[in-house]
């Protein structure tokens, strides 16, 4: 998924229906450096698998405060 993908403008968090932000890996890809969609309001991230956002409520993961700060720094505008 690319940061200019028009789909990003219409995707919403399944829990609060608010906008999501694309977070791209800043280093080698791994389980903790995969592309995700992030909801900073609820501190929840949703995986993007093979370019397809996984937006079921159960697919989301709660992040810690440290992870939240890291994700905020890596969010695309």
**pTM, whole model, 2 decimals?**
0.84
Would you state the pLDDT for residue 6?
86
**Quick one: average pLDDT of 62-75?**
93
Q: What percent of the chain has pLDDT over 90?
A: 65
Q: 23-45, pLDDT tens digit by residue? A: 988 765 555 568 999 999 999 99
Q: How far apart are the first and last CA of the chain?
A: 14
């Amino acid at each position: 998924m690319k940061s200019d993908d028009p789909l990003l403008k219409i995707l919403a968090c399944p829990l609060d229906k608010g906008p999501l932000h694309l977070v791209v890996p800043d280093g080698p890809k791994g389980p903790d450096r995969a592309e995700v969609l992030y909801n900073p309001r609820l501190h929840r991230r949703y995986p993007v698998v093979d370019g397809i956002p996984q937006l079921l409520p159960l697919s989301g993961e709660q992040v810690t405060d440290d992870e939240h700060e890291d994700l905020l720094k890596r969010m695309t505008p």
